[in-house]
Amino acid sequence: MKYITLLLSLLLLSTCKTSSQTATSDFEPATETNTNIAQSNVVINYSAITRGSFLEIKLENQQILVKKDQYTPGKILELSDTEWHILLDQLHNTDLDALATLEPPSNKRAYDGAASAKLTILEDDLKYSAPEFDHGNPNPQIKPLVDYILSLAKKVE
């Protein structure tokens, strides 16, 4: 019985060692092609909600989805390469690590003076979220990005 247990333990350990070697050998170093693929893995969500209005914008895979009603599917528009690259430039000019600490410049959303807006960015399996701010009045550090997202959304009609 001891020999069978010992034999099974050795078999199990050798199997685990083989699978860990296989997993590490599949690693590919970062190249220009890999970074281009990683840039397409960006998802940007913007929403502005108040009692009387609803706006949800999602940018992903060179497409923009705009929903003006939470109960309808929304409209999708394919973005050009230029529009997508401008969006990525705006995104990479934004300090994503500081996003969570940004202070909103106004607080009209507290009394329904403005819609409450949220900006969430998913990039490389990391989630970055800005604190809620008044729609149309984001923190100056994210204003260029938010303005560009809203300008793209206006094209979807």
Instruction: Give per-residue pLDDT as tens, 40-95.
Output: 689 999 999 998 899 999 999 999 999 999 899 999 999 999 999 999 999 999 99
Share of the chain above pLDDT 90, in %: 67
How far is Cα 108 from Cα 133, in angstroms, rounded to an integer? 9
Domain boundaries, the chain: 41-154
Q: Is the pLDDT of residue 131 over 70?
A: yes
Q: Is the pLDDT of residue 38 over 90?
A: no
Residue 20, pLDDT score = 41
How far is Cα 44 from Cα 61, in angstroms, rounded to an integer? 10
Closest to 104 measured CA to CA, from 134, 145, 148, 136? 134
Cβ neighbourhood burial of 122 (10 Å; 0-12, 13-18, 19+) = middle
Considering the entire predicted model, what is its pTM? 0.73
Residue 26, pLDDT score = 37
- Nearest-10 Cα torsion for 65, 68, 72, 73: 0
Confidence of residue 104 (pLDDT cuts 50, 70, 90): very high
CATH entry, 41-154, from 3.30.1560, 3.90.70, 2.60.40, 3.30.310: 3.30.1560
Confidence of residue 128 (pLDDT cuts 50, 70, 90): very high
Residue 109, pLDDT score = 92
